[in-house]
Structure 1
Amino acid sequence: MTPPRGLLDLRRVWRAACYSFNGLKTALKYEAAFRQEMALFVFLAPLGLWLGRDGVERSLLVGSLMLVLIVELLNSAIETAVNRIGNEPHELSGRTKDIASAAVFLSLLLVVLAWVLVLFDRFS
């Protein structure tokens, strides 16, 4: 039985990976919040790998940091799309940006919660 057409299309996978890397480069170039959160990730991820006692703790510490980057990318994409539509103040545009920003805030709270709980358990 042959796989469905396109399932093993490595050129498509390569192109998708290139688009993803371009997105990361763009976010690093244009989004100050993403740069700050990436710096936090670069500093804390190795610490999380070292402090975590097992795979679960390591995945909580590092995964929560990675989730912040993911949510920030989505927030930036939403803000960019809203700005593309128009820069004039509009209630729905503001609400959209505020809701996306709230998602970033909650992801940052998750980092704090995960790190506090894991480290409290580790050092108590």
Structure 2
Amino acid sequence: MKSIEKEYGVKIVYSDCIDGKGYYVPAYRIIVINNGLPESEQTKVLLHELGHVPQTDYAGLYNCSKPSHYKMEAEATEYMLKEEVETYLMENDLDCKSINPVVFLENRHLSLRYAPVVEKILSEI
């Protein structure tokens, strides 16, 4: 965690007292993760929240139109998926052409609705 904190310039904290899975608080550069989640889910939430860090108008996520909100959330989810794909490739010593997006998503316990995003990620690697 220390290397992630240093690389992204954020502090990561785990709490039993939050409503939701996790949050990024840009004013304090803190990511808060729900401690009650299984470790694998905490990792996905952390990666998603890290996807928000480079967003320059993160405050606008909750103060803007729904399309802008959805776009920012989609970007953070795509970041999480990209990191998960790269980890999956390394862990299984695979090449991106040998991954079936549906099998990958099922293996990582992720929604199949992300299949088009995973296909895009794999085409860009």
Please state which structure has a larger fraction of its residues in helix.
1
Shorter-chain TM-score above 0.5: no
State the TM-score, normalized to the length of structure 2: 0.39
TM-score normalised by length of structure 1: 0.39
Larger radius of gyration: 1
More strand by share: 2
| Highest RCO, 1 vs 2 (Cα 8 Å, sep ≥ 6) | 1
